[in-house]
Chains A and B, each alone.
Chain A
């Protein structure tokens, strides 16, 4: 069965600092990979997704993620964090033929002024 782990439950960074959120998945083949953000009082929003090709994908709000097959990882990065980035971030995986999405437990990001 597919699984997604996000090792960091909570991360705190200062505004303007760089950010990396970790995601590891367990799946037999290359899955479809996603990062979502959930801000307080708002619905989940897709940041970016990967399915093939260039392993570095760009998303909205200045985020990017890199797929590393050898490490089964899909880490999310941002070079300079803004206070508005404080939210919960979820990594998700899906089969390349199915619609059963599996989400990780999430990483809560706090941003210090």
Chain B
């Protein structure tokens, strides 16, 4: 079946611009995660959704970052006034949601964001 998909695969933008990154989880998965992975680093947790609600957004670095999941499936990560330091690969993962942290997370291929 289809896995987690993310669009676009690459996004180049200029400093100060607004960007949206999209994640399509596996059908039926209620849990959805966003991570950010900088070069040479492990993924850094940003936000976790259970259904439509953000159950844990403690990883969002500041108020320029926001994520939504209005219908409990597709999620959009929004970054305002982008900065060069936002350049990274943004990963999305989904899981069935029944077993909390023990559920296997299935990761998408990521969106590579470059802020010039």
Give every chain A residue within 8 A of B102 (Cβ-Cβ): 32, 49, 51
Main secondary structure of the interface of A (DSSP, over half): loop
The answer to whether B20 has its CB under 8 Å from any CB of chain A is no
The answer to whether B41 has its CB under 8 Å from any CB of chain A is yes
Contact of B45 among A49, A51, A100 (CB under 8 A): A100
The minimal Cβ–Cβ distance linking A58 to chain B, given in whole angstroms, is 15
Q: Which of B42, B58, B59, B109 has the most CB of A within 10 A?
A: B42
User: Chain A interface residue count: which class?
Assistant: 20 to 34
Main secondary structure of the interface of B (DSSP, over half): mixed
User: Chain B interface residue count: which class?
Assistant: 20 to 34
Q: Which of B41, B50, B101, B108 has the most CB of A within 10 A?
A: B101
B binding-site residues for A, Cβ under 8 Å: 3-4, 31, 33, 35, 40-45, 48, 50, 55-56, 58-59, 91, 93, 100-102, 104-110
